[in-house]
Structure 1
Amino acid sequence: MSQPELVLASTSPFRRALLERLGLAFTTAAPEVDEQPLPDEPAQALVMRLAEAKARAVAASHPDALIIGSDQVASIDGQILGKPGGHEAAVAQLGLCAGRAVTFQTGLCLLDAASGRAQTLVEPFRVQMRALSPAQIAGYVDRERPFSSAGSFKSEGLGIALFERLEGEDPNTLIGLPLIRLVTLLQGHGIDPLTQGARPLD
């Protein structure tokens, strides 16, 4: 029996780069999903719902595939931090986070499109931010321009200099895709990165 097509329901170059580490053949597809939270929706519920929604959004065009969906939000004291979208908002977000703990919740879904069965989970990751001066925040935002990143930083780049401590089981989670948990889900479908591998298809 042939291995099902593997699809990453994301256009994020960061998630694509993470999945490429596993050496498995996969394609990517853009999910059309409204990412606005529901009224009073907790961060964990939001990312789990959106991870599955993204996977299901591309299932119609990939009816026999295994589809990976993921979504991430940052929160501080229960307040969800969205993507800043611009310079002033990024500076304000980092000012709010400086010296405090930021929790990232990353939802992961592996959808068997053929059966409609979805496995979902949420992987948390906690970041203790340094006490940052206005000059440090401005310098970082000017250099990295993290306007499309939740929490206004990119941990895979200069953002690492903003952190005092990281707490979590999988550092890949902070970038956007919990690979350790994903490998476990894939192995449950007979796909083992340790015994089979290829380059991405697209």
Structure 2
Amino acid sequence: MRTLILASTSIYRRQLLERLRLPFQVVAAEVDESPHHAESPSVIARRLAKAKADAVARLHPDALVIGSDQVCDLDGAPLGKPGTHARAMAQLRAMQGRVVVFHTAVAVVCVDTGFAGEAMATVRVRVRPLDDATIDAYLHVEQPYDCAGSAKSEGLGIALLESIESDDPTALIGLPLIRTCSLLRAAGVPVLG
């Protein structure tokens, strides 16, 4: 089997990929993640997943490289990783009582074989009505400043939500494993034999 590389330093993506019990390496993708002018959240996610996979695949042409990106979409506008408590407060205030869409794209690339595949999972999340005290308490406990949308559904952030709709449940955490498995099988990786 070819070397498998995850083109991401995200601990969340690494933990998800470990579920597949395939040996893999982690290589940071040096990619400018700035959105292009008038680019929709879903297009940003697709473009960056492919760019990350391509950047690492150029450095490791014999490897099979997985790139992924997630963009939180509130009314067609991308919400990035907040980075700070104040920005996370603002994001959760804006999202409370509303439906937010998370676009999680995955790309698998191998330069030597010419394989290139992409897939997208879309997750609709209904955030329950929240007051500032609840938002502040949550942020102090979990500090999800490195998460698009300022909450971790796999942790205490689940208490902020009313519902999650998706056909690929790990997509909300950062890597759609159902779609990733499909792409890996198409590339010749025997996921579960």
Does TM, normalized by the shorter one, top 0.5? Answer: yes
Corresponding residue SS for 2:16: helix
**CA–CA separation in structure 1 for the residues paired with 2:115 and 2:20:** 23
5 Å-filtered alignment, 1:98-109, equals 98-109=96-107
Give structure 1 regions of 4+ aligned residues with deviation exceeding 4 angstroms. Answer: none
Q: Is the counterpart of residue 164 in structure 1 residue 162 in structure 2?
A: yes
Partner of 2:138: 140
For 2:129, the equivalent position in structure 1 comes to 131
TM-score (structure 2 length as normaliser)? 0.97
Q: Secondary structure at the match of 1:150?
A: coil
- Give the whole-Å Cα distance in 1 for the aligned partners of 2:114 and 2:44: 20
- Any conservation in 1 of the 2:40–2:77 contact (CA below 8 Å)? no
TM-score (norm 1): 0.93
Distance 1:19 1:113 in 2: 21
1:12-91 aligned at under 5 Å gives the runs 12-91=10-89
Amino acid at match of 1:176: G
Q: RCO (CA 8 Å, sep 6+): is it higher in 1 or 2?
A: 1
The corresponding residue for 1:199 is: none
> SS where residue 109 of structure 1 aligns?
strand
Distance (whole Å) between structure 1 residues aligned to residue 111 and residue 63 of structure 2: 6
| Alpha-carbon distance in structure 2 between the residues aligned to 1:180 and 1:121 | 10
The question of whether the paired residues in 1 share the 8 Å contact of 2:97 and 2:127 is answered with: yes
Percent identity, aligned pairs only, is 51
State the aligned residue count.
193
8 Å Cα contact 2:120-2:179 kept in structure 1: no
Letter in structure 2 aligned against 1:42: S
Cα distance, 1:188 vs. partner?
1.4
Structure 1, unaligned runs of 5 or more: 196-202
* Residue 188 (structure 1) aligns with: 186
- Aligned equivalent of 2:4: 6
